[in-house]
Amino acid sequence: MSADVMQRAERPAWMEKPRPVTQGVKGLTLVFTVLVVIVPFWVVLATSFAPDKQVIANGGYALWPDRWTTNAYDLIFSGGQITRAMLVSGGVTVVGTTFSLVCTIMLAYALARPGVVGGKPVMLLVLFTFLFPAGMIPSFLVVNGMGMRNTYWALFLPVLINAFNLVVMRGFFQGIPAELFESAKIDGAGELRTLVTIVLPLSKAVIAVVGLFYAVGYWNDFFRAILYTDQATMWPLQTWMRTYVVQSQNSLISVQGGVSEQIQFAPQTVNMAVVVLATVPILCVYPFIQRYFTKGVLTGAVKS
């Protein structure tokens, strides 16, 4: 069989043979899209490692540093507040994601099992909160009334379970064959053992996807720290990044005894360095979970 015949056999009947012009346009479009994504991040990275004089001379940015330097990163970590903010962000992300995954898995499993008492009203309540979320003032009143203000609990407990993630995971659990649950019941396994030994090993894809959703949400959140805490020492990294970049403050802040005082000048390189520090951890985690996205999200979204 010739190569042309084999190629036609591999293509569906409705798919025409690709033309060179079409292939070239697709390639150029792909290259353009990649450049649109990579160039801004490269500018941020190069600016963070560029000397101050070059950045100032180029209007605040650098495409390629004349001399690679880590002065901006040394300046950031010498102040102490960014190091603490990174620890706060990491701790909130790890603890919050763990708590959220455990609670979401348990609630989704309970709502996915047939015959659960009160399952339908609870599901309707979850969907109601998904369509009509609580506002900022009610959330603040609840957190303040429970005594969680100025505590790290306020950074993840108010958003412990996301309704969308719950619906996705519940749909995935509903797609597991009922025969597996029946065989586990015949063997004498309870609900908890069935969840741990049968459901969770089959749900690695959706757990990875939902876990990444939670982790990205906790890592990128900056508003809850402003809303629920009065102490800058409790701010996560994203809140400090907002202070540096969005408000264009050109000074490093040293927090001592709850009083903020300006101690060193921070050029544009420091702003870019903070952006890099806030972005790189998620970029390092994402490639390992990307392969689960299609399977986890689409399979979990088939049923609701």
Determine phi and psi for 265, rounding to 5 degrees: -75, 135
Q: pLDDT digits over 69-123, tens only? A: 888 888 777 767 778 888 888 899 999 999 999 999 999 998 888 877 888 888 8
Task: Round the average pLDDT of the chain to a whole number and report it.
Answer: 79
Tell whether the model's pLDDT for residue 5 goes beyond 70: no
CA distances from 188 to 16, 65, 144, 160, 201 (A): 56, 66, 46, 33, 19
Query: What is the CATH code of the structural domain delimited by 75-301?
Result: 1.10.3720.10
Contact 264, 75 (CB under 8 A): yes
Instruction: Give pLDDT, residue 97.
Output: 93
Look at residue 190 and tell me whether its pLDDT is greater than 60: yes
**Domain residue ranges in the chain:** 3-69, 75-301
% pLDDT > 70, the chain:
81
Distance separating alpha carbons of residues 167 and 159, to the nearest angstrom? 15
For residue 258, is pLDDT > 90? no
Q: Report the 10 Å Cβ neighbour count for 49.
A: 20
Alpha-carbon span 244 to 299, nearest angstrom: 41
Which of the four pLDDT bands, split at 50, 70 and 90, describes residue 290? low
Burial of residue 131, with CB atoms counted within 10 A of its CB: 0-12 exposed, 13-18 middle, 19 or more buried: exposed
Q: Are 253 and 260 in contact (CB under 8 A)?
A: yes
| pTM of the model as a whole | 0.75
